């Protein structure tokens, strides 16, 4: 009974960590441009497919199964998706940067459609399995059977999140990014290039999405229509965590993962989903600014 509980707890944390990666990228972009990137879920899915491509390439040239091929592919995916992120921001944001946020909704929606159906046309509709980070086997600790991939997800997601946190809070570059996000005009006056910062933020955000895709694609397989679900979870997490707060978003995302698994075990999946929304609505009712205070309060 206890083992099941621990197992479920780890499952929840693992799922939550993957959500957290997606949400972190999501909130970085929100802070940078004040608009929601509707393609975030599809970008996660794209990252998953990219890792499948890399894995097939490596395996084609190396017939022996390699342990830890995922670890090798992870930086490739990060770099690849970061480059794609630059392209993405150039197409969906830069031409529209002086327009109201509604236009960026549409441009990212359109980009998401292109990504989703482009991959569908290129790969076909079959579900794919991505490379395992270390291996897809299991680890026995006492009476527990933990999936190695799940542990890998928790470890690598935490590592990436901490890296981003360190970048944003402790480095000069991170300070510049935050300054440009908070007040682009003033940032320009002190020599911070707003456009570059936005592009860089998109790169980081989409690299994170790609990493999430890699991690999820082995544990849960990947299909082209998976994008919508990830977007929804990220959106909920960002709002619950206090719009614009990085730490709040990450915590909320992990909480959502745990909530889903625990409630599904205690009651049912349908109720888990329904209760998530009900909880969301109740929280908004009583704390209209999310669980944590908003990052920026308006001075009246």
* Least Cβ distance, residue 8 to another protein (angstroms): 6
Q: Distance (Å, rounded) from C-alpha 50 to C-alpha 118? A: 13
State the number of binding residues for another protein (CB under 8 A). Answer: 71
Q: How far is the first Cα of the chain from the last one, in angstroms, to the nearest whole number?
A: 54
Site string for another protein, 97-136 (x = CB under 8 A): --x--xx-xxx-xxxxxx-xxx-xx--xxxx-x-------
Pick from 224, 35, 213: nearest CA to 119? 224
Which residue number, 155 or 279, has a Cβ lying nearer to another protein?
279
Is 239 among the residues that bind another protein (CB under 8 A)? yes
Contact criterion met (CB below 8 Å) for 46 and 210: yes
Applying CB under 8 A, does 90 fall inside the site for another protein?
no
Binds another protein (CB under 8 A): choice among 72, 221, 259, 292:
221
| CB closer to another protein, 97 vs 175 | 97
Q: Which of 13, 256, 261, 295 binds another protein (CB under 8 A)?
A: 261
Task: Tell me whether residue 13 or residue 74 sits nearer to another protein (CB atom).
Answer: 13
Q: Which of residues 144-173 bind another protein (CB under 8 A)?
A: 145, 147
Q: Does 65 bind another protein (CB under 8 A)?
A: no
The interface with another protein within residues 30-59 (CB under 8 A) comprises 38
Q: Does 277 bind another protein (CB under 8 A)?
A: yes
């Amino acid at each position: 009974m206890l083992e099941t509980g621990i197992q479920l707890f780890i499952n929840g944390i693992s799922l939550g960590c993957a959500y957290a990666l997606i949400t972190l990228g999501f909130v970085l972009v929100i802070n940078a441009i004040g608009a929601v990137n509707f393609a975030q879920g599809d970008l996660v899915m794209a990252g998953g497919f990219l890792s499948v491509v890399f894995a097939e390439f490596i395996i084609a040239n190396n017939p022996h199964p390699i342990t830890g091929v995922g670890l090798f592919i992870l930086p490739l995916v990060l770099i690849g998706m970061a480059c794609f992120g630059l392209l993405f921001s150039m197409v969906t944001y830069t031409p529209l940067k002086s327009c109201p946020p509604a236009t960026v909704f549409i441009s990212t929606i359109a980009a998401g459609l292109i990504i989703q159906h482009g991959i569908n046309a290129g790969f076909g509709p079959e579900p794919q399995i991505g490379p395992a980070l270390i291996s897809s086997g299991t680890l026995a600790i006492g009476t527990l059977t933990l999936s190695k991939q799940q542990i890998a997800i928790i470890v690598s997601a935490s590592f990436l999140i901490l890296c981003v946190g360190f970048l944003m809070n402790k480095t000069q570059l991170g300070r510049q990014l935050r300054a440009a996000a908070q007040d682009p005009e003033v940032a320009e006056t002190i020599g911070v290039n707003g456009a570059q910062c936005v592009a860089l933020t998109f790169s980081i955000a989409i690299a994170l999405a790609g990493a999430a895709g890699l991690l999820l694609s082995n544990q849960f397989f990947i299909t082209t229509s998976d994008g919508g679900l990830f977007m929804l979870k990220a959106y909920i997490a960002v709002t619950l965590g206090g719009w614009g707060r990085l730490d709040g978003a990450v915590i909320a995302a992990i909480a959502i993962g745990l909530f889903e698994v625990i409630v599904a075990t205690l009651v049912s999946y349908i109720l888990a989903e329904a209760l998530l929304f009900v909880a969301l609505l109740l929280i908004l009712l009583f704390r209209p600014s999310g669980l944590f205070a908003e990052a920026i309060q308006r001075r009246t």
